[in-house]
Amino acid sequence: MGQFPKTRLRRLRRTEGIRRLVRESRLAPEQLVYPIFVAPGRNARQPIRSMPGISRVSVDLLGEEARIAEKLGLGGLLLFGVPDDKDATGSSGRSPDGLIPRAIESIKSAAPGVLVITDVCLCDYTDHGHCGVLRNGEVDNDATLPLLVEQALSHALAGADVVAPSDMMDGRVAAIRQGLDEAGFPQTAILSYAAKYASAFYGPFREAAQNAPKQGDRKGYQMDPANAREALREVALDLDEGADMVMVKPAIAYLDVVRQVRDRFDVPVLAYNVSGEYSMIQAAAAQGFIDGRRAMWETLTSIRRAGADAIVTYFALEAAKALAGS
Ligand code: PBG
C-alpha cells in the first residue's frame, strides 16, 4: 500500500469534505427503528426516570408519534405494551382489543406508510414478570408457545407488518410462522430476537415496561454473555424455523456477535441498542462527562460498522432529526 512519505493517510482526514467522501459506514433514518412504550389511559405521556427523553405514551397520542416517524423517514416503530392488567399467563397481551392492537390501528390510520413492528413476549403482561408461563417455578417452554402464537396473531390481525418474538423460547419462530400462515397471514414477517443475552443493560427497560421478574432471573432462557458460537446456532435455528430477519441484543457489548452473524448469514441483521446503552450515555452526558451527541454517533456508527443493516435505538428520533438537518 506504499510507504511514508509517499503515502500519508492523514491526507484523507484533513477536511470534512474528504472524510465524508471516503467514509465506510453510513447512517440513514431508514436504518433506525424507534421503540415505543404504549400505556393505558388517555392523553398520557409518562416520562421514564431511568431513560431521559423517553416516555410511555397512551394510544390516542400515537398518531402524532407516527406522523413524526413518517416525516423523519424512520425505518419503523417497535411497540411494547405496558398494561395495568397482568396475570399468570399474560392474557392482556393476547386480547384483540388490547393495547398493542389498538396502538397499531392508531398508528396505521395516522400514517399508513410507517412500518409497525411489535414485540411478542409474555413478560410485559405476566404478573410474575417472566417471558413464559411458570410450572413449578420454572418457565415452561412448550406451554408458552401457543400463547406467543395467539399474541402474534392479535398483532397481525390489527395490521402489524412484522412481529418480533423476544422471549427466547425454543421453537417459537416455527410455531408463530405456522400460526400466522394457518390464520391467513403468510405476508406478516418475523424478526426474531435470535441472539438475546441475559444482560444487565436491560435495567432501565424494566422500569419502563415494569416487567422485572418478581423472582429469579432470565438466565434459564436468555443467553450467557460468554457465548458467541451458541449465538450462531440460535440464528441458524431461527432461520430454519422461518425467521425473515434476525436480531442481536444488546448491541454494544456484542458487536463481535453482530459481525459473526453478518458474515455467516445472508439475511437482514438488526441490532438492539438497548435501554442501558442509551441511559449510560444520557447519564454521563447530563453530568458533563462526555459529549452525548458525539457518543450517540459513535455508538450507532460502531453498530453499522459491525455489520448491522438496521438498529433499534432510543436515539432514533434524535439521530434522524440531526441527519435531516445535516
Ligand atoms: C422483553 C424485552 C426486554 C427488552 C426488549 N424486550 C427486556 C428483558 O428481556 O428483560 C429490553 C430492551 C431494552 O433494554 O431496551 N422480552
Residue 129 alpha carbon to ligand 1 centre in Å? 11
Q: Which atom of ligand 1 is nearest to the CA of 274?
A: 15
Residue 202 alpha carbon to ligand 1 centre in Å? 6
CB distance 188 to ligand 1 below 6 Å:
no
Alpha carbon nearest to ligand 1 atom 8, residue:
202
pLDDT in tens, 47-76: 999 999 999 999 999 999 999 999 999 999
pLDDT value of residue 246: 98
Pocket test for ligand 1, best of 38, 123, 270 (most atoms within 8 A of CB): 123
152 to 13, 107, 249: CA distances (angstroms): 49, 17, 20
pLDDT value of residue 2: 82
CB distance 58 to ligand 1 below 6 Å:
no
DSSP bridge pairs for 263: none
CB distance 313 to ligand 1 below 6 Å:
no
Active site residues: 196, 249
pLDDT value of residue 48: 97
Is residue 306 within 8 Å of residue 258, measured between CB atoms? Answer: yes
CB distance 115 to ligand 1 below 6 Å:
no
**How far apart, in whole angstroms, are the C-alpha atoms of residue 53 and residue 67?**
18
Is residue 168 within 8 Å of residue 120, measured between CB atoms? Answer: no
Q: State the cell numbers at 192.
A: 426474531
CB distance 119 to ligand 1 below 6 Å:
yes
182 to 5, 97, 150, 169, 187: CA distances (angstroms): 67, 21, 12, 21, 12
**How far apart, in whole angstroms, are the C-alpha atoms of residue 62 and residue 36?**
9
Q: Percentages helix, strand, coil for the chain, rounded to the nearest 5?
A: 45, 20, 40
Residue 139's identity, in one-letter code, is: V
CB distance 275 to ligand 1 below 6 Å:
yes
Alpha carbon nearest to ligand 1 atom 9, residue:
202
| pLDDT under 50: residue ranges of the chain | none
Residue 9 alpha carbon to ligand 1 centre in Å? 42
CB distance 221 to ligand 1 below 6 Å:
no
190: nearest Cα among 155, 233, 222: 155
**How far apart, in whole angstroms, are the C-alpha atoms of residue 68 and residue 322?**
14
Reduce the DSSP state of residue 322 to 3 states and report it.
helix
pLDDT value of residue 15: 98
Strands (E), the chain: 32-39, 45-47, 55-58, 76-81, 116-120, 134-135, 138-139, 162-165, 189-196, 245-249, 269-273, 310-313
Query: Is the omega angle on the peptide bond into residue 250 within 30 degrees of 0, that is, cis?
Result: yes
Residue 203 alpha carbon to ligand 1 centre in Å? 9
104 to 51, 108, 211: CA distances (angstroms): 24, 6, 21
Reduce the DSSP state of residue 67 to 3 states and report it.
helix
Helices (H), 171-274: 172-182, 203-209, 229-240, 255-264
Residue 91's identity, in one-letter code, is: S
CB distance 274 to ligand 1 below 6 Å:
yes
**How far apart, in whole angstroms, are the C-alpha atoms of residue 192 and residue 243?**
6
Is residue 48 within 8 Å of residue 54, measured between CB atoms? Answer: yes
Indicate the Cα dihedral angle 190, 191, 194, 195, nearest 10°. -170
Q: Which atom of ligand 1 is nearest to the CA of 131?
A: 16
